[in-house]
Amino acid sequence: MTVMTKPDHTTARATVSAPALSPATTAKPDLISVEQAKAMDVARMTDLFKAHLNPGQLHFMKLLGFHKIKIERAEGMFYIDQSGRKILDFFGGFGSLAFGHNHPRLLEARKKFQEEKRQEIAIAFMSQYAAALAHNLAKCSPGDLDMVFLGSSGSEAMEAAVKLAERAAGPKRPKVVYAENSFHGKTKGVLAITDGSLYRADFKVADNVVRIPFADIEAVERAFRSDPEIGVIVLETIQGGGGIIQASVEYWQKLRALCDQYGVLWVADEVQCGYGRSGRFYAFEHYGVIPDVTALAKSLGGGKAAVGAMIARRSIYMKAYGTPKTAMIHAMATFGGMGEACVTSIEALNVLYDEGLIDNATVTGDYLLQRLQALKEKYPKIIKDVRGKGLMVGLEFHDFSQTLPMVLRPVVSVLDEKLKGSLSGFVGALLLRDYDVLVAFTEYNRNVIRLEPPLICQREHVNRFVEALDSLLSRGIVSIVKDFVKSQVR
């Protein structure tokens, strides 16, 4: 290769001679094969994670002990690691695993799709699989929620939902209301309505937004009354990142009435709380109301495919994109409605009803809440609150100082804000290390452990989890801290 540089340093620019037009071969880089990836040990995984993925994230994985584990396979309610240890999954991928790991009906549907070599990407042609999935989602949705946009993630579904609502509201009403401690995604558009300084960082986000407290209907009414430019309100029906926070029946019914009164479009974010997790297909169905637009993702792909969906009232959709001139403003992207992903989602919806998993979320979720409430009564100085609906449950610990002996509280209380999340982290790490149980955490209230096990969860799994937590808490806070510190120096 010949490299030449112009002599004029003020405008110097490197030039590279063109390669031969017909090279004999293209050299293959030093690539890892599928079988080599499968056989990779933890040390090699760690090296590659630091080199090419997220070095900073490894710090937190080490704190929790996750960095020592290589998952070899997963089935039903369990991960299985490199030593054959079965880890009970009460994390559930933030609600992405309604059917557990590798449900046999989903595997069979995908296998048949592949064996028959059916079409995967159908942008030029209509897809029978995308059409069928859209039909099924409309059938699962109440009222006239029947127009569907298919994407690949919750963020993409919410982007589509907010864009649709903003267009339908019109240019004279561009403002969007969102709630404190909300989480609607990390992509640039919905970042403006995701209430987290960590995720927003120093990005420049859209400024046509209005922030109000969650579950405060008077704040909603004040905002609507005072600002005629508000055209959209976006709310999680149950706040996940906020710590599994709910609003009352009266709140949602009054919200629907206020939206109708002021002509504001309501977007219900059901990405995490929807799809049967709350004990109804949509969490808003508990309150006898229907939004104008909603969004699903997480378990929509059956834990095997990345699928998100926006579902809107037909009148709203047609107002935004209902003419040939406007139809392509927000049409499906390249990977929206992919064949195998749609087939997986079609089969998953059928499994959801065939196996009674929505009803199981209610029954098993109630049992989980009862068992945890009993633990709260047993450990009132440790557990502050237990709350949730269906199999979306939050377990909140007291601030760290309040869990300690009385003599230590005044000294430690000044550090409570800095120590937020430490106890939930200690408990999560020790549940995994000593009891083979995996749990999740929350973005905003870090004192909360988030429990979103698969909807196939049974009483036996609840009993195992609660007994493990009981055994751990019985050690006492001082011993828990000591055990965690020991785990960090080994």
Secondary structure in 3-state letters for 440-474: EECCCCCCEEEECCCCCCCHHHHHHHHHHHHHHHC
Residue 94 is given by DSSP the state: H
**Residue 224 Ramachandran class (φ > 0 left, ψ -120 to 50 alpha, else beta):** alpha
In this predicted structure, the answer to whether residue 458 has a pLDDT above a threshold of 70 is yes
The sign of the CA dihedral 63, 68, 72, 75 is negative
- Determine the pLDDT at residue 35: 96
Least confident span in 60-74, 168-182, 217-231: 60-74
Q: Which whole number is the average pLDDT over 157-180?
A: 98
- Determine the pLDDT at residue 421: 77
- Determine the pLDDT at residue 13: 63
Q: Which whole number is the average pLDDT over 337-348?
A: 97
In the numeric block, which tokens belong to residue 206? 């859209």
> pLDDT class for 21, splitting at 50, 70, 90?
low
- Determine the pLDDT at residue 3: 47
**Domain 357-489, classified CATH 3.40.50.300, yes or no:** no
d(CA 32, CA 40): 10
Q: DSSP states of 67-93 as a string? A: GG--EEEEEBTEEEETT--EEEESSHH
Interacting residues of 316 by C-beta distance below 8 A, sequence separation 6+: 147, 164, 165, 168, 265, 292, 293
- Determine the pLDDT at residue 1: 46
d(CA 8, CA 253): 72
In this predicted structure, the answer to whether residue 412 has a pLDDT above a threshold of 80 is no
- Determine the pLDDT at residue 244: 97
- Residues linked to residue 14 through DSSP beta bridges, in sequence order: 5
> pLDDT class for 409, splitting at 50, 70, 90?
low
Residue corresponding to tokens 């993925």? 53
Domain 104-355: which CATH class? alpha beta
- Determine the pLDDT at residue 487: 76
Interacting residues of 221 by C-beta distance below 8 A, sequence separation 6+: 258
- Determine the pLDDT at residue 266: 98
Mean residue pLDDT across the chain? 92
Least confident span in 66-80, 117-131, 255-269, 460-474: 117-131
pTM to 2 decimals? 0.91
- Determine the pLDDT at residue 490: 61
Does residue 60 sit in helix, strand or coil? helix
Residue 315 C-alpha from the chain's centroid: 29
Domain boundaries, the chain: 104-355, 357-489
